[in-house]
Amino acid sequence: MYGKAFAPEYQGALTTLSVNSSLTDVLAAGTEQLRAAERAGQPGEAARSGLAVAEAHRRLGRVEDAERAWKASYRAARQAEDLGAMAWALWSGGTLARQRGALPLARRLLRLAADLGERGGDVVVRGYSLAGLAETGRIQGDYEAVGRLHEQLLAEARRRGEARHTVWALEGIAQMHRNTGRYDSAYALFEEAAEIAAGAEDRRGHAWALRGLADVVSVRDRDTERALALLTEAETTCRAMRLSSALAYNHKMRGNVLYRAGRYGQARELYEQALAEFREMREPRGEALSRLGLAKSLARLGRDPDETAAELADLAVLLERIGLQHARRMVARAHEELGIPSAGPATGVAL
């Protein structure tokens, strides 16, 4: 049903690159082709190769370089009057904005990308941009608004046999199910995503699916060792492909698993590691969530309750500034777990 996964963001002379190409290889090839296109006065090719450069920088956590690259790609695409290439550049910029926690900017850029993709007849970038909008809403916790869009995009991906996009949609829906306590359906969806990704040789999608499975196995089954084994398998892929953000989220999830098992000292070490990684790549959402896990671990290890309360109050403000609608509920749940008084109901939102 599904063919081998491909990477539509690798375009022009870079279409030979695989979805599993290491990011350092992508960056080297993209930079070389970009320079050649600029020397030859080919703005269209410069836009396409510049997109790969922007995406490699983004996934490596090099925020400033990624910002410069996607904007340069957009300018070159506009010079070439290539609506599709303009849309892809805006998609890259919107994805970077979401990674940086600038969610209103992410939505604006992704909407523009979807519109340009439709006008330019590029159904793939339109789909990727709509998926980006759906993911932005999901991260904010606006499940009702984006749940239908996830389902729509999943149906479209299945119909076209696009493995990578199907895996993305399954994982997004699974995460929403997990965060609302529907663990069995979440597990089934993550499991299907992992199977499709493995069959399509989508190592990145497979690593994210394993992370999701580990989370459910930990919270539903209390099977700490199996969860850690799944995360170790995923980490091998993250390191091989230099997936900096995915690796940091893997480490944060390992902290979650250890925290749930009552292994607070080990959890603290993992949260500290993830926090340092997120800070290095300037990813505020991951940084804030790592701080929350670290605060809970330190509280379990005897930290003064007043210090914990102050940390949680600061995090509540930070998470709301990022634009996460469920921020208050997450912090309220932490207050409840730790026995520190706080107003507001707790929920089952994932840490």
The rounded distance, in Å, linking the Cα atoms of 269 and 68 is: 34
The model's pTM is 0.88
Strand runs (DSSP E) across the chain, as ranges? none
pLDDT in tens, 106-117: 999 999 999 999
Q: Which residues contact 127 (CB under 8 A, 6 or more apart)?
A: 153, 156, 157, 165
DSSP 161: T
**Structure tokens given for 350:** 């994932």
- Residues in Cβ contact with 340 at an 8 Å cutoff, skipping those fewer than 6 apart: 299, 305, 308, 309, 312, 334
CA dihedral 180, 181, 185, 186 (to 10 degrees): 70
pLDDT tens digits, the chain, 351 residues: what are they? 677 888 889 999 999 999 899 999 999 999 999 999 999 999 999 999 999 999 999 998 899 999 999 999 999 999 999 999 999 999 999 999 999 989 999 999 999 999 999 999 998 999 999 999 999 998 888 888 888 899 999 998 899 888 999 999 999 999 999 999 999 999 999 999 999 999 999 999 999 999 999 999 999 999 999 999 999 999 999 999 888 889 999 999 999 999 999 999 999 999 999 999 999 988 988 999 999 999 999 999 999 999 999 999 999 888 888 877 666 677 888 999 999 876 444 443 444
Among candidate residues 307, 310, 344, the one with its CA nearest the CA of residue 327: 344
